[in-house]
């Protein structure tokens, strides 16, 4: 947050520099436009159609290591590229990149390829899954991770990241909740912008950055029942207030491409919604880049899926006319565009416009000037050790300490038993979309991370996450130790795409482990590796300490151990609620108020909006996270001034250790025109404090950020607001402030 404000305030000083940069950019932009038009004028219809197609390239590690020009599939692919039938590949081709680009240069017009890969949180190094990364609440860190991922992606032969995912996700059942920044629109927006800026840099063509892709547009995280690919029904106002802001932020950060989502929105597949792809994305947000369908999503509009296109040509026409520019993998554009043009379903100028947008990205990426990569020089130029350190920093900052009865940080000299199969696994630290991070010798397991500093830790498996529990071994391990560290959660293949779950509780094996450990008389620390918040009230009850470790990446073992041992102070705060049970999903902190909220003065507690069998509170709410010290808030206030509201609090470190507190501001509009969230995050600031130290924290929120959308129009309403400046979304003393009507 601070960075953004600082940047704005520094603005004046850098004005003249900016002006020069804008003039230079405008000139470069004009140049690109001219080159696009010149090239377009030379293209045949077949060549234009070729540019609209992304083909599936070789993606396996074996293919990457081998020579693409000798395999049957590879030869076929190269021939298609030479024939000008392919604008882009979905692949991590490694050094084969140069052969592929060479083939593209041999095509009649020599148009280089966009090579798209799923660079989500990993390339050679693996950083924590985005949901974990978001818990750092750290824009600088997110940007640095984006930078490092981009340059590493180039070594995989990828010049276009099919990321970041910027899907606000409220439902823990949805597997793809792992891929973005959790449930909050503001946090998702900040992380989206930081990652886009990191991945693309100031200049995508500088040889160290690549194009980014904000996905999945839009409301994908609101799939009914948390079931992947499912339909979405919601009001347009909710779309604008909750799901659109991260895309707006990505566009403002200059994102080169956007990927429409698989789902339908109010009855129309996103892939063929002119309202979404043209009216809102280009019209309202001002996006001037290209769109790429999701994997076979155009085909999925036919009777093979949504059933809203008669045949391939119809699907192609509808998608292109809606504002889709490139089709991923399926062949409706390749096979259907000519028929669609002939029948009048599709206009030639629509095809030309799509080609223009694709070429523009290729020019902006500098592909025509530098179609190939000098891999040896590139690899030499990358400081992989620094990237590994960054992965360790990211892992440690993603960890959220959820419960601690004093067992953490681990005391020096004690004996530790480490149990559970994933505590001894490198692979399980990675998470979905990680591919094969290749700094293998350095990827750490939790057990190695603990031992790194001479901790006396002994690993014995005792159980698999979803397997049989060796009760005898578990009791034995516990009996020999002062503290048990037990790994819980999910295997990495259980999160990300198409990994929705109807049950997010611990499975019977893990519940058995909890029960056994609870009877051993030894304190146990539950380290939960997962791609979603799990429903784990029994850990909250029975473990001595609980830590959310997510999938922490290459340096995950070290980063998590840094926090457990106290080599680092806990830093992470939740970006999503931990529900008590699956039946409450979607459970999110900014739910709209009801006529009968808890604590209502109208009726007794029985007649409030609630479940009979679970409390309304979360096991751990959004924004929550402990430190190894304690903090006290006093003197909280909210003052509305001209154009901004100033929130202040004195925050004191009341414990015995240095620590960092994340001070959060939440606001509720009472007496609003329509029903508003019970509270909504508006800002935050981190403060680091020595024992006994007090600092005054002041957070300024522009009045313009306090509005919401009614019938498509964003507005800020005068009147009374409630506010909290607090350590999490369920805490704090209620404040009020008023906004005067505009004169």
Give the nearer residue to ligand BGC in terms of CB position, either 212 or 465. Answer: 212
Taking residues 484 to 513 in sequence order and writing x for each that binds ligand BGC by CB under 6 A, - otherwise, the string is -------------x----------------
Please report the sign of the dihedral spanned by the C-alpha atoms of residue 298, residue 303, residue 308, residue 313: positive
Give the nearer residue to ligand BGC in terms of CB position, either 179 or 636. Answer: 179
- Torsion angle of the four alpha carbons 552, 558, 559, 561, in this order, in degrees rounded to the nearest 10: 110
Taking residues 241 to 280 in sequence order and writing x for each that binds ligand BGC by CB under 6 A, - otherwise, the string is ----------------------------------------
Cβ-Cβ contacts under 8 Å for 36 (sequence gap 6 or more)? 356, 359, 360, 363
Taking residues 34 to 73 in sequence order and writing x for each that binds ligand BGC by CB under 6 A, - otherwise, the string is ----------------------------------------
Instruction: Tell me: does residue 118 bind ligand BGC (CB under 6 A).
Output: yes
Distance CA 121, CA 434 (A): 7
- Torsion angle of the four alpha carbons 331, 334, 335, 340, in this order, in degrees rounded to the nearest 10: 120
Instruction: Tell me: does residue 622 bind ligand BGC (CB under 6 A).
Output: no
Residue 294 CB, nearest distance to ligand BGC (Å)?
Answer: 5
Joined tokens for residue 314: 């119809």
From the candidates 167, 294, 562, 669, give the one annotated as an active-site residue: 294
Instruction: Tell me: does residue 121 bind ligand BGC (CB under 6 A).
Output: no
Reading phi first (left if > 0) and then psi (alpha if -120 to 50, else beta), residue 332 is in alpha
Binding to ligand BGC, residues 80-99 (CB under 6 A): 90
For residue 179, how far is the Cα from the chain centroid?
4
Residue 215 CB, nearest distance to ligand BGC (Å)?
Answer: 6
Residue 447 CB, nearest distance to ligand BGC (Å)?
Answer: 33
Among 47, 294, 314, 490, binds ligand BGC (CB under 6 A): 294
Instruction: Tell me: does residue 295 bind ligand BGC (CB under 6 A).
Output: yes
Instruction: Tell me: does residue 403 bind ligand BGC (CB under 6 A).
Output: no
Coil vs helix vs strand at 733: coil
Distance CA 484, CA 514 (A): 11
Instruction: Tell me: does residue 228 bind ligand BGC (CB under 6 A).
Output: no
Binding to ligand BGC, residues 178-217 (CB under 6 A): 215
Query: How many angstroms separate the Cα of 173 from the Cα of each of 221, 228, 528, 579, 724?
Result: 10, 9, 17, 11, 29
Q: DSSP letter at 243?
A: I
Residue 165 CB, nearest distance to ligand BGC (Å)?
Answer: 7
Give the nearer residue to ligand BGC in terms of CB position, either 89 or 548. Answer: 89
Residue 437 CB, nearest distance to ligand BGC (Å)?
Answer: 17
User: How many residues bind to ligand BGC according to rule CB under 6 A?
Assistant: 7
Give the nearer residue to ligand BGC in terms of CB position, either 217 or 491. Answer: 217
Distance CA 140, CA 371 (A): 31
Distance CA 236, CA 238 (A): 5
**Looking up tokens 């160290």, which residue turns up?**
208
CA angle 605, 610, 616 (to 5 degrees): 90
Give the nearer residue to ligand BGC in terms of CB position, either 166 or 484. Answer: 166
Give me Rg for the CA atoms of the chain.
26
Instruction: Tell me: does residue 162 bind ligand BGC (CB under 6 A).
Output: yes
339 flagged as catalytic: no
Catalytic site positions: 294
Judged by the rule CB under 6 A, the positions of this chain that interact with ligand BGC are: 90, 118, 162, 215, 294-295, 497
């Amino acid at each position: 947050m601070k960075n953004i404000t600082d940047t704005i305030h520094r603005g004046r000083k850098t004005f003249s520099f900016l002006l020069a940069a804008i003039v230079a950019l405008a000139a470069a932009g004009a140049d690109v436009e001219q080159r696009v038009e010149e090239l377009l004028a030379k293209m045949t219809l077949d060549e234009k159609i070729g540019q609209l197609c992304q083909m599936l390239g070789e993606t396996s590690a074996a293919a990457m290591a081998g020579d693409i020009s000798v395999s049957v599939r590879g030869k076929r692919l190269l021939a298609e590229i030479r024939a000008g039938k392919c604008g882009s590949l979905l692949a991590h081709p490694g050094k084969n990149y140069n052969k592929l680009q060479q083939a593209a240069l041999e095509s009649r017009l020599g148009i280089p390829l966009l090579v798209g890969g799923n660079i989500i949180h990993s390339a050679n190094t693996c950083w924590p899954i985005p949901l974990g990364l978001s818990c750092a609440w750290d824009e600088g860190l997110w940007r640095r991770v984006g930078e490092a991922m981009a340059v590493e992606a180039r070594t995989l032969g990828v010049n276009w990241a099919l990321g970041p995912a910027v899907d606000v996700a409220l439902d823990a059942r949805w597997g793809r909740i792992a891929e973005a920044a959790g449930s909050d629109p503001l946090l998702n927006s900040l992380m989206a912008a930081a990652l886009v800026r990191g991945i693309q840099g100031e200049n995508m063509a500088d040889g160290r950055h690549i194009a980014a892709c904000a996905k999945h547009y839009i409301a994908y995280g609101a799939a009914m029942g948390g079931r992947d690919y499912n339909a979405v029904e919601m009001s347009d106002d909710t779309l604008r207030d909750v799901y659109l802001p991260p895309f707006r932020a990505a566009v403002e950060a200059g994102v080169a491409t956007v990927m429409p989502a698989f789902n339908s929105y109010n009855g129309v597949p996103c892939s063929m919604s002119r309202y979404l792809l043209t009216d809102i994305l280009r019209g309202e947000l001002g996006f001037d880049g290209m769109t790429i369908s999701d994997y076979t999503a155009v085909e999925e509009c036919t009777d093979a899926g949504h059933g809203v296109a008669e045949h391939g040509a119809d699907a192609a026409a509808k998608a292109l006319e809606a504002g889709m520019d490139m089709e991923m993998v399926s062949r409706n554009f390749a096979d259907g565009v000519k028929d669609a043009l002939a029948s009048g379903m599709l206009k030639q100028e629509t095809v030309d416009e799509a080609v223009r947008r694709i070429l523009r990205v290729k020019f902006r990426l500098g592909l025509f000037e530098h179609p190939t990569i000098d891999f040896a020089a590139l690899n030499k130029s990358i400081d992989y050790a620094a990237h590994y350190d960054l992965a360790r920093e990211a892992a440690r900052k993603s960890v959220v300490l959820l419960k601690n009865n004093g067992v953490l940080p681990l005391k020096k000299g004690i004996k530790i038993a480490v149990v559970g199969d994933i505590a001894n696994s490198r692979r399980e630290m990675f998470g979905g979309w990680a591919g094969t991070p290749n700094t293998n010798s350095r990827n750490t397991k939790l057990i190695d991370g603990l031992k790194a500093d001479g901790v006396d830790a002994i690993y014995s498996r005792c159980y698999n996450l979803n397997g049989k529990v060796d009760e005898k071994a578990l009791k034995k391990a516990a009996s020999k130790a002062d503290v048990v560290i037990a790994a819980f959660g999910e295997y990495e293949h259980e999160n990300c795409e198409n990994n929705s779950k109807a049950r997010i509780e611990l499975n019977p094996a893990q519940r058995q482990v909890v029960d056994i450990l609870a009877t051993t008389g030894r304190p146990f620390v539950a380290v939960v590796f997962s791609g979603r918040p799990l429903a784990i009230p029994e850990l909250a009850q029975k473990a001595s300490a609980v830590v959310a470790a997510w999938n922490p990446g290459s340096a995950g073992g070290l980063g998590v151990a840094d926090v457990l041992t106290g080599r680092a102070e806990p830093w992470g705060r939740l970006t999503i609620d931990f529900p008590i049970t699956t039946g409450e999903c979607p459970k999110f902190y900014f739910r709209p108020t009801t006529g009968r909220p808890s604590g209502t003065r109208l009726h007794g507690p029985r007649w409030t909006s609630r479940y009979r069998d679970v409390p309304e509170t979360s096991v751990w709410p959004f924004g929550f996270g402990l430190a190894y010290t304690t903090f006290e808030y006093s003197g909280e206030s909210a003052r509305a001034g001209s154009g901004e509201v100033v929130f202040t609090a004195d925050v004191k470190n009341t414990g015995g250790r240095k620590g960092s507190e994340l001070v959060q501001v939440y606001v509720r509009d009472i007496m609003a025109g329509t029903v508003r969230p019970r509270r909504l995050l508006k800002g935050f600031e981190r403060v680091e404090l020595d024992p006994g130290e007090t600092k005054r924290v002041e957070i300024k929120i522009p009045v313009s950020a306090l509005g919401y959308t009614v019938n498509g129009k964003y507005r800020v309403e005068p009147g009374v607001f409630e506010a909290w400046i607090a350590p999490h979304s369920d805490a704090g003393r209620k404040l009020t402030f008023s906004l005067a009507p505009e004169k």
